[in-house]
Chain A
Amino acid sequence: MLQLSPAPHISSSKNVNKIMYGVVAALVPALIGSIYFFGWRALFLTSLSVLSALITECVFQRVTHREIRCLDGSAIITGILIAFNIPVNSPWWLPVAGSFFAIFVVKQLFGGLGYNIFNPALAGRAFLVASWPFLMTGNWTPPISGTLSGISVLDGVTQATPLSLLAISSPEGVIQSLNSSTMLKTLFIGNTGGCLGETSALLLLIGALFLFFFGYADWRISISYIGSVFIFSGILYLLGVTPVNPLFHILSGGVMLGGLFMATDMVTSPVTLKGRWIFGIGGGILCIILRLWAGYPEGVSYSILIMNMFVPLLDRLHPRIYGR
């Protein structure tokens, strides 16, 4: 019996699972880093988070009689990213609650894979920040081998991450040290206080390069997001609006994690090239605005969530059709 199927009869090697597990693999260096910096609890929290995401998705699909495809890798990504967005001394139920909300409300209630408007992990984080603000933003522990703020002289004096030092209008000397090359190096390597997966720019970059190479994420979004954070904060630095230099801005907080792994989420970013550039640039500028003038020290997650809302609009920037 001959098989009938429509053309094309060959397919590129890409498929959904491969892309999703590719992203999971790209997050592994940062995961290993978080275990190194924060100890085994990092792995424990990440595993719980992933498990919660998987179970939520599986149960939802079962109950609603949908195809059970919770192992396609996308829920695992959400689970890892939720864990990457919480401090290491969070209670065990925090990532569980975050992943549950991300998968149940943000992803599945909107129609499941491909239909969600917001990046589930970011919206899950926003939910956690709104519900348990102290656990999410005031509950920092230093990494095993480093210091919380990356500034050794201030050890024990402050209970803040490098980024939050900026928000609480610290004394001049502290701000000076934020601009030092030692500080920037610490931020690049990741040996500092912060959420589980966001501290090491280096390890995140290694993973992201892998994604760009295989085309599992669009470098344009990352470049435009991180680039516009750099340029916009640079302008404000020169104008004296922000006391820290632009390198500090791109290396601290969640800019790397957000710009490389969350803004590039295919489902919640625009499909046209022009749209992706605008999406990235808009997100970067919003991030700095939120950082400098909003209530929280960090602006990455809200900047991307706001840009997520613009995606249907940005998708209307159709390329010019051949011959039209």
Chain B
Amino acid sequence: MKLLTFKGGVHPRDKKELAKYLLIKRIELPEFVYLPLSQHTGASSKPIIEKKDEVEVGMKIAESGGKLSVPLHSSVAGVFMGVVSWPHPLGGRKPAMKIKVDTEKTTEWEGKERDPESFSAEDIIEIVKEAGIVGMGGAAFPTFFKMKVPPGKKITDLIINGAECEPYLTADHRLMLERTEDILKGTDILRRVLNPKRVWIAVESNKIDTVDKMKEFSSSYPWMNIVVHATKYPQGSEKQLIQSITGNEVPEGGLPFDVGAYVQNVGTAVAIYEAVRYSKPLYERVVTVTGPVRAPSNFLVPIGTPFEYLIEVAGGVIGGEKMIINGGPMMGIAQIYPEVPVIKGTSGILVQNAKEVFERKASPCIRCASCVDVCPMCLMPTEIYKFIDMEDFEKAEELGVLSCIECGGCGYVCPSNIPLVQQFKYAKAEIMKEKK
């Protein structure tokens, strides 16, 4: 079998063996959940309930706060304790709706079954919006907005992203094994909205077991093309996936639909299916809790569950926790507060103990060019870094820093431990500020 791939990339140890064989399981509920009003790209949601109000599972508790925004739903039954300033996994403290959990009343979703075929494309987009669905691969871009393809743009390739290239994380892998048909049903809904020429299901070769599982359904979903990619990071990045499947590059500063592509994560496909079929809003998701915890797990958790609670349920950290990361080791964000809650884009919680946290003393660049060799966007990280160091953002922009997808490949290979990605994020922010 010929494996698809892209130019550049790195091969970190994937460590997926920690959790890849473990069934997704529900957890006992925490005492409180904290639902940040900002869980996606775009405007924050606005609360529509009052303090002390009782809430039910899946009840809409905040409405969309703008054009690029989605509503928020309670992930549990209980009592709304008010909006509090609470640590946010993307950094800082942000307003969050605190809900005291009523364990008795919190039940699984029981929505009336509906026939997805009975809805028009516009209906489906509205349902997806009302269900609060955002991209669940990490970027958390409101899905309804992405589904509204601008007039004049035609989607030719719908790509369902099951690459899950971040080391350690196994949530998507488990979904593909345990919710195979739901993913395909969700894809079918997307397919009918977008009307693409081709539909691709993309996985990496380290999840080859999902291919057999998918193939069991190939007679019911004849439009499905499964494509297996070489296991290489960052294969799951939208631009790299489009490149390796279609051969097209998304133009600089452009979006996937400029080359007729539309990429959606497998988890989002499930959420779309559940929303359309059972009118279930997005209030829970699969989160891999992994690293040196006693019992690495794939949990199905209510959005808003604090990280520290999940780490405790996973048996605590062997050797004491030194680092808690929202996401995987390549792009994840290190947390200051262990009480941060799971949000819609949290695909995993990775903990590291003192033994695993590596020394990061930076030494001078020896021009080894490893970063140039691995950059999947064909940038020259070492050069860009030098100009940012001199605060020459104009030159950094000319060298393409705005194209940086922040995958961390350069930082991973750098023998001098230079904080390349951090500097690129800084430069991007400075350049965008200048542009405004």
Chain A positions within 8 Å of B, measured between CB atoms, are 2-12, 14-16, 18-19, 69, 72, 74, 112-115, 215, 218, 266-273, 315, 318-324
Contacts and interface: CB of A to CB of B under 8 A. Distances in A.
Interface of B: 10, 12, 167, 239, 243, 249-254, 321-325, 329-338, 350, 352, 357-358, 360, 363-370, 372-373, 376-380, 382-383, 399-400, 403, 406, 408, 411-417, 419, 421-422
Nearest to B239: A322
25 contacts: A4-B334, A4-B336, A5-B357, A7-B333, A7-B421, A9-B323, A9-B329, A9-B330, A10-B12, A15-B415, A18-B415, A113-B366, A266-B367, A266-B369, A267-B366, A272-B372, A315-B380, A322-B239, A322-B252, A322-B376, A322-B378, A323-B249, A323-B250, A324-B251, A324-B400
A111 B382 CA distance: 17
A10 B412 contact: yes
B310 to A, nearest CB: 15
Contacts of A7: 325, 329-334, 406, 408, 411, 421
Contacts of A8: 329-331, 408, 411-412, 421
With most chain B CB atoms within 10 A of its CB, the pick from A4, A6, A72, A113 is A6
B99 to A, nearest CB: 25
Contacts of B329: 7-10
Nearest to A275: B369
Contacts of A69: 363
A2 B252 contact: no
**For the complex, would chain A's binding face be called helix, strand, loop or mixed by DSSP majority?**
loop
Contacts of B324: 2
A319 B336 CA distance: 39
Nearest to A218: B369
Contacts of B167: 10
Given A16-B363, A321-B252, A271 B383 contact: yes
A215 B10 CA distance: 14
B422 A6 contact: yes
B366 A114 contact: yes
Contacts of A269: 367
B246 to A, nearest CB: 13
Contacts of B380: 271-272, 315, 318-319
Given A271-B372, A271-B383, A324-B252, A12 B12 contact: yes
B243 A322 contact: yes
Nearest to B331: A7
Contacts of B372: 271-272, 319
Q: Which 9 A-B pairs have the closest CB atoms?
A: A8-B408, A114-B364, A6-B422, A271-B369, A14-B415, A323-B252, A321-B400, A322-B377, A9-B329
Contacts of A19: 366, 368, 415
